[in-house]
Each structure stands twice: as structure tokens, then as C-alpha cells.
A and B are shown apart, each in its own frame.
Chain A
Amino acid sequence: MGRLIDENGLRVDGRRVNELRPIKIEVGVLKNADGSASIELGKNKIVAAVYGPKEVHPKHMARPDRSILRCRYHMSPFSTETRKSPAPSRREIEISKVIREALEPALILEDYPRTAIDVYIEVLQADGGSRVAGITAAATALADAGINMRDLVTGCAAGKVDGQIVLDLNDIEDKEGEVDMPIAVMLNLNQVTLFQLEGILTPEEFKRAFEMALEGCKKIYQIQREALIKKYFGSAEPIQVE
């Protein structure tokens, strides 16, 4: 005990328990993608690209009534401390699936029948919480691509480290800590699209962790929103035109 949170209540990287890592989102970083966004969350560096809606290949995968969403979460070989094999691992395949399911409720796929929307999430540098950062970047890229969406999706993790509930776990806390709980939400619609929990929490702890993660999402949403507004309307604040 006391390894990851010191006597002053500061974490390994000097944050308080309810503090997020520095975050930066940029929209439209890739010229050839229909929509793109990059996110830096602490030491995480992630690029998301969206292509589509486009024709489906192989053709038998197409749905006559809606578009299909395909997601690929991938970690670059140089993204981790020791080289990672570039082949998709079991973990990446699973994360691709949960990210797809986290983004699907936000998209109005019925508007684009017989097409496919491809989302590529490339982790260039990993530092814990990359799936939620990836979801945030992918949702921003989808909005940039101009695909009809019910809401933006924002992801954030909370967890338990040294017996304390903390927000936005980094790599060390993720590995050494007791609990990791990534969530993704659609804030305007008040709906949860991703919920994972690894470890054990008491009902009270769970409630605190969930509320903390939700608060984190709200802060990230503001940055996500500003990034989109900055690209499309030039200024950081929305201008009201009468």
C-alpha cells in the first residue's frame, strides 16, 4: 500500500485522484481520410481515421437496410515499451469489437444502406486508457466525416489504485492497480455505450468510480467539442448568428 499514491494524496505522475491527464484533440489531421482526428491523453498518442460511407467489399457483407461499421484498433509496433508484433493480437481484436459496439449506437446507420463505414484507430504511443481515448478520437473523426450521428461518444476510465478510487488510469496504475473501469457515454442523450470492469468494487466504490468517470467524460467532451468547432467555425467558442 502507498506505492502508487503518496502521503500527500498524489499519484505516480503527480496528479490528484480526480484529475485527468493533459488532453489535446485535433480534427482533420489526415488529408486523404474522409474524417480524422488525433488525441493525446497523457502519453497516449492516437490517430483515428474514418473512410466512408463507401461501397462494401466483399459485397455479401452489405446489409440492404443499413450501413455496416467496421473498426480496427491497432497498436503500432513502436507504441509500447517492448516491441509489439504488428499482427492483430487477441486483445486488439476484442478491443476493436467493443469500440465498434461503443460507436454503433451513436451512428444513424439506416441513413446509408448498402454501404460500409471504416474506422481505423492507430495507437502510436500507448499509456493506459487507450481504448477510451481511441473511442473519443473515432467519434470526433466520424463527426468530421459528416456521418449522421445521434450524439458524440466520449470515453473515460476510472479505477481503484491503492484502495482509492481514481480517474483516468495511466499505464502503471492500470497494470499495478486493483480495478480498471473504462466507460463511454453519449452525454447529450445520457446513455452509456461502453462499460467494462476489471476487478472488484463494492457498490459504494462502484458508484463513486462511475460518477468520477462521468465527470471525466464531461471534461473530455468539452475539449472534443472545441476541437470540432475550431476546425469548422474557426474560433474556439461557438458563434451565434441571428
Chain B
Amino acid sequence: MVNIKRKYVIPGDLICEGNYSPLANVMKIGNRFYSTRVGMAEISREGVKVIPLSGIYIPRVDDIVIGKIIDYSAFAWEVDINSCFSAYLPAQSVFGKDFSPAKDSLVKKFDIGDLIVGKIVAFDRTRDPLLSVSGPGLGKVSKGEIIRIAPSKVPRLIGKKGSMIKAIENYTKCKLNIGQNGLIIATGPPEGILLAIKAIRLIEEEAHIADLTKKVQKLLEEGGSVGKVDR
């Protein structure tokens, strides 16, 4: 961490002036950088960026997402990934090269309403994102509690190098499977899940606060009183 300057900004705010490279959610006019989102601006050696605090999920290649099958044709499933684009999961990537629409029925693998963990393999905004379920940890979700948070708060939930999520997992003895699209699947003992939900809600509410990991750790240590379950 070398000399990173942070600042809270809203759209149109001047972040800084100078010779930087624009990274994300910034607009460059001349050598002035303006924010395009509500969030935290970061000025570092690599450039200027704004970490947004609101907004829907926009898919990116290599993102792990949790989606719901909403439709299928003879060749592919359509998956709701909590975004303005619905993802496309080709049957060939599930059944293999010798997939034949006459022989194989798609419902045998995934039916409408099934939850899946997938990976975005291709997306360039001109066409719907392409999903894949081949890989470790990917595929149908068979058990667990689903938790929804704002997609913009997912990076905060994961924390630096996964510090936040590791802390929650250690304390609650739960396994948290986080989708970049703001859906989380928690598996483990029920009291653990309740505590994890509490911690996640705290992170969601106070995402902009520095030193959040400490606050969450305190909550987890106190553990104790179990709040209501939200679904």
C-alpha cells in the first residue's frame, strides 16, 4: 500500500487534477478527473478510480455468479443473474461435445427454478453473457440458505484478500459461497448461518466505514443473541 488517497464523491465531483490514468467510474476531461458514481474515490500510482456504493450488477468475464434458471430451449438455459442482462448457458457446455437436442433433455440437468453457481466466460455488452458450470465449485446448488445483498457491496464483504469473509467463516463455522452478483449461499449449522447473516447485514449497512473488519469481528465474538432470519 503506497500512498493511496481516498475521498467520498458523488457524480460530477472533481476528484483530482493531473497526469493519471482513468481506471473505473471516472470521467476524464483534459487532465481533470470527475466521478460518475456515488462512492469512494481512490487515487493511487496506477490511476484514479471510484468504488461505487450503489448500482446494479453488470457482468464481467471470470465473475462467479449465483443464478436461477428461468427458461430453457432445446439448446440452452436462460439464467437470471440479478442483472439487466440474463445469462445464457449452452447445453453443449453441460452435456459435452456429443450433445444432441433430440436425445438429451435439458430438464434432466437443470429445471426451471433451480439455482446454479456459474462462471461468466464471455461478455462484451453487445450480447448476453455466456455462462459455464464446468469447474470446481460450480454447478447446481443443492442446499443452503440464500442471502441477497447489494452487488456493489460484495467487494467489501470479501475484504482485502478475502480477510472479511475468512473471519466470518471461521467464527460461524459456515461455508459462504459468494456470487459477484450479490447472492450468497450459506451452508453450515443454523446458529452459524444466523450469525453470518447478522454480520453480512452490518457490512451492507456500513460499507463506507473504514476499519469495518474490526467491527465485524467484535460482532462475531459477541455472537450471542440471534436475530431474525431474513429470506
Q: Which residues of A contact B (CB under 8 A)?
A: 34-35, 52-55, 64, 106, 108, 112-115, 143-152, 186-189, 225, 228-229, 232-234, 238-242
A145-B54, A233-B208 as given contacts; A112 in contact with B37, CB under 8 Å: no
- How many residue pairs between the two chains, A and B, have CB atoms under 8 Å in the bound complex? 97
Residues in A neighbouring B126, C-beta threshold 8 A: 64, 113-114
Closest Cβ of chain B: how far from A78's Cβ, in Å?
A: 32
Whole-angstrom CA separation of A233 from B41 in the bound complex: 13
A146-B52, A232-B38, A242-B5 as given contacts; A53 in contact with B84, CB under 8 Å: yes
Whether A148 contacts B12 by the Cβ 8 Å rule is: no
Whether A188 contacts B36 by the Cβ 8 Å rule is: no
For the complex of A and B, 8 pairs with smallest distance between CB atoms: A146-B55, A151-B12, A146-B54, A149-B11, A188-B12, A241-B6, A53-B84, A148-B36
Whether B54 contacts A188 by the Cβ 8 Å rule is: no
Residues in A neighbouring B14, C-beta threshold 8 A: 188
Whether A148 contacts B37 by the Cβ 8 Å rule is: yes
B194-222: which have CB < 8 Å to A?
208, 210
Whether A233 contacts B8 by the Cβ 8 Å rule is: yes
Given A114-B85, A150-B11, A232-B8, 15 further pairs, Cβ under 8 A: A34-B56, A114-B126, A115-B85, A143-B54, A145-B55, A146-B56, A149-B11, A149-B36, A150-B34, A152-B12, A188-B34, A189-B29, A225-B10, A232-B54, A233-B8
A152-B11, A152-B12, A186-B12 as given contacts; A146 in contact with B152, CB under 8 Å: yes
| B5-42 to A contact mask, C-beta < 8 Å, 1/0 | 11111111110000000000101010000101111100
Answer whether residue B125 sits at the interface, using C-beta atoms and an 8 A cutoff.
yes
Whether A150 contacts B27 by the Cβ 8 Å rule is: yes
From A112, A186, A238, give the contact of B8 (CB < 8 A). Answer: A238
* Closest A residue, CB atoms, query B42: A241
Q: How many interface residues does chain B have, given as a range?
A: 20 to 34
Whole-angstrom CA separation of A187 from B126 in the bound complex: 33
Whole-angstrom CA separation of A188 from B33 in the bound complex: 12
Whether B55 contacts A54 by the Cβ 8 Å rule is: no
A64-B126, A108-B36, A148-B37 as given contacts; A53 in contact with B8, CB under 8 Å: no
Q: List 21 A-B contacts (CB under 8 A).
A: A55-B85, A112-B58, A114-B85, A114-B125, A145-B55, A146-B52, A149-B11, A149-B36, A151-B11, A151-B34, A189-B12, A228-B38, A229-B8, A232-B8, A232-B10, A233-B208, A238-B8, A239-B8, A241-B8, A241-B40, A242-B6
Residues in A neighbouring B86, C-beta threshold 8 A: 55
Answer whether residue B158 sits at the interface, using C-beta atoms and an 8 A cutoff.
no
Whether B25 contacts A148 by the Cβ 8 Å rule is: yes
Closest Cβ of chain B: how far from A72's Cβ, in Å?
A: 19
Residues in A neighbouring B8, C-beta threshold 8 A: 229, 232-233, 238-241
Residues in B neighbouring A189, C-beta threshold 8 A: 12, 29
